[in-house]
């Protein structure tokens, strides 16, 4: 029978849960309808993926797109443009905007701003604070909400839950997995004097925000997560010591690492990049980077998120510690990981788990994370052999810089397809912004 599809991707090496198979993909109504030999099927639109790998669309579960309030750094148009140029089909955006995303109206405002302007699918976190702790169980169920985000240590913005009493109240109110920035605020305050002395440079950043700052906070969090029975997701884990602890708490705590913590190390990154390498929690010495890779290898890490957190070059040029923390990353997440894969640091199967299936699993996303019939037709088509130089002029972010400027990488996204629409091909964005809010299925 000559079946009809809306769109067919021909001859790609498709990364499925069962392995890598050379099949065609038929799409109907934005969803995968069939995998197989579709050479006799008809479709108004086709994509020849011969020689390319077809990955489930990459999901970046930690980005700061700065809208509203900080649009001189980024907005939802430029942020999501960077996403699709880097092969990302879906993002979860963080609540430390201005105003912070604390309530139903703030979330509705972000969803309205994204409508017709976002190039990729999206969900927004609501920030936890003492003032909304009692309402979080309701707020986390709102459509378009990625979940609740807690800053245990202060970073960019004013969101903070520093004491155990408020943190317990936050954990007790709700049931979805809760995302945590884990640095201990009181230790940060105690040690702030280390960077306030004359002549302080960014090299001191990992000493101020030291291993103990992260470890202490993560231990406190794990104890409260056990006590309250709440699942937690610890964002951008940076230390060998935390990974050791997290390895025995897999049932309750999932783990994110960032590409920059897997790629850069101190002191070299501060020598070369100065405050461009400044972020929270910090880039640390090579022994931590090794431990992060070991944790990737051992299955302790669930997702890689970029923590895309743009600041302008002028802001970054302020002398440390006035310089803000954060760097761009949504566009470079996949090229960096493909390069690491080509260098033998992880398999393609593991890369796919960390960039799509893992996010879908820990956040219970509906219809995302796999290439299988019934799932959304979100694909990232990659040329594993392409050698390219990452450069600032490729970066779509408003701030126009990446700490990886000038780096040659092997492996590149050549097309980004969202619910059957080609939104990026050969470094060009196509059509109109078609991003939609994603849905979640509640589960254990």
Nearer to ligand DOR, 93 or 339 (CB): 93
Cα–Cα distance between 266 and 240 in angstroms, integer?
A: 14
Least distance from C-beta 408 to ligand DOR, angstroms? 26
Least distance from C-beta 290 to ligand DOR, angstroms? 22
- Binding mask of the shown chain, residues 140 to 179, with x at each position contacting ligand DOR by CB under 6 A: ---------------xx-----------------------
Least distance from C-beta 148 to ligand DOR, angstroms? 15
Contact 263, 218 (CB under 8 A): no
Is residue 101 involved in binding ligand DOR (CB under 6 A)? no
Is residue 325 involved in binding ligand DOR (CB under 6 A)? yes
Cα–Cα distance between 125 and 281 in angstroms, integer?
A: 19
Q: List the one residue from 33, 89, 96, 356 that touches ligand DOR (CB under 6 A).
A: 96
Least distance from C-beta 224 to ligand DOR, angstroms? 20
Cα–Cα distance between 220 and 182 in angstroms, integer?
A: 9
Is residue 280 involved in binding ligand DOR (CB under 6 A)? yes
Least distance from C-beta 244 to ligand DOR, angstroms? 23
Is residue 279 involved in binding ligand DOR (CB under 6 A)? yes
Which helix (DSSP H) or strand (DSSP E) does residue 26 occupy?
Answer: strand 19-28
Is residue 277 involved in binding ligand DOR (CB under 6 A)? no
**Closest to 249 measured CA to CA, from 270, 229, 273, 271:** 229
CA-CA-CA-CA torsion sign (394, 324, 241, 177): negative
Query: In the block, which residue shows the tokens 């405002």?
Result: 109
Q: Is 251 a catalytic residue?
A: no
Q: List the one residue from 181, 191, 261, 388 that touches ligand DOR (CB under 6 A).
A: 181
**For residue 399, which phi and psi values (nearest 5 degrees)?**
-85, -10
Query: In the block, which residue shows the tokens 């996949």?
Result: 334
| Exposure b/e, 317-342, CB count within 10 A at least 16 = b | eeebbebbbbbbbbbbbbbbbbbbbe
Least distance from C-beta 276 to ligand DOR, angstroms? 12
Is residue 275 involved in binding ligand DOR (CB under 6 A)? no
Is residue 237 involved in binding ligand DOR (CB under 6 A)? no
Size of the site for ligand DOR (CB under 6 A): 10
Q: List the one residue from 86, 326, 369, 403 that touches ligand DOR (CB under 6 A).
A: 326
Tokens of 315: 């802001």
**CA–CA distance from 281 to each of 152, 162, 258, 341 (Å)?**
12, 16, 11, 25
Nearer to ligand DOR, 156 or 214 (CB): 156
CA-CA-CA-CA torsion sign (316, 321, 322, 324): positive
Residue numbers annotated as active site = 307
Footprint of ligand DOR (CB under 6 A):
64, 96, 155-156, 181, 279-280, 309, 325-326
């Amino acid at each position: 029978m000559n079946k009809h599809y809306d769109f067919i991707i021909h001859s790609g090496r498709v990364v499925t849960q069962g392995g890598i198979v050379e099949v065609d993909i038929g799409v109907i109504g934005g969803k995968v309808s069939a995998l197989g030999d579709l050479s006799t099927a008809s479709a108004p639109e086709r994509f020849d993926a011969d020689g390319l790998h077809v990955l489930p669309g990459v999901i970046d579960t930690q980005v700061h797109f700065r809208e509203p309030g900080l649009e001189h750094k980024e907005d939802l148009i430029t942020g999501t443009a960077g996403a699709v140029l880097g092969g990302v089909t879906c993002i979860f955006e963080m609540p430390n905007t201005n105003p912070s995303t604390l309530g139903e109206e703030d979330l509705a405002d972000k969803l309205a701003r994204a409508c017709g302007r976002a190039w990729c699918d999206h969900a927004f976190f609501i920030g936890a604070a003492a003032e909304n702790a009692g309402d979080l169980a309701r707020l986390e169920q709102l459509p378009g909400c990625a979940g609740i985000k807690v800053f245990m240590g202060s970073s960019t913005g004013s969101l903070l839950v520093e004491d155990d009493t408020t943190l317990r109240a936050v954990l007790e109110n709700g049931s979805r997995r809760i995302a945590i920035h884990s640095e201990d605020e009181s230790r940060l305050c105690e040690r702030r004097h280390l960077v306030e002395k004359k002549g302080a440079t960014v090299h001191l950043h990992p000493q101020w925000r030291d291993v103990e700052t992260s470890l202490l906070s993560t231990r406190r969090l794990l104890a409260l997560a056990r006590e309250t029975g709440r699942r937690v997701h610890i964002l951008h884990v940076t230390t060998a010591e935390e990974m050791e602890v997290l390895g025995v708490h897999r049932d309750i705590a999932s783990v994110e690492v960032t590409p920059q913590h897997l790629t850069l190390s101190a002191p070299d990154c501060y020598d070369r990049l100065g405050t461009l390498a400044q972020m929270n929690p910090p880039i640390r010495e090579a022994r931590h980077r090794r431990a992060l890779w070991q944790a990737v290898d051992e299955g302790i890490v669930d997702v890689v998120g970029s923590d895309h957190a743009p600041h302008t070059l002028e802001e970054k040029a302020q002398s440390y510690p006035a310089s803000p923390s954060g760097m761009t990353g949504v566009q470079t997440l996949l090229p960096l990981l493909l390069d690491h894969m080509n260098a033998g640091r992880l398999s393609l199967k593991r890369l796919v788990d960390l960039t799509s299936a893992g996010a879908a699993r820990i956040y219970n996303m509906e219809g995302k994370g796999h290439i299988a019939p019934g799932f959304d037709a979100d694909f990232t088509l990659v040329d594993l052999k392409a050698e390219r130089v990452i450069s600032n002029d490729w970066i779509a972010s408003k701030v126009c810089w990446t700490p990886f400027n000038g780096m040659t990488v092997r492996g590149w996204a050549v097309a980004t397809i969202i619910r059957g629409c080609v939104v990026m091909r050969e470094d060009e964005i196509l059509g109109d912004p078609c991003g939609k809010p994603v849905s979640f299925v509640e589960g254990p």
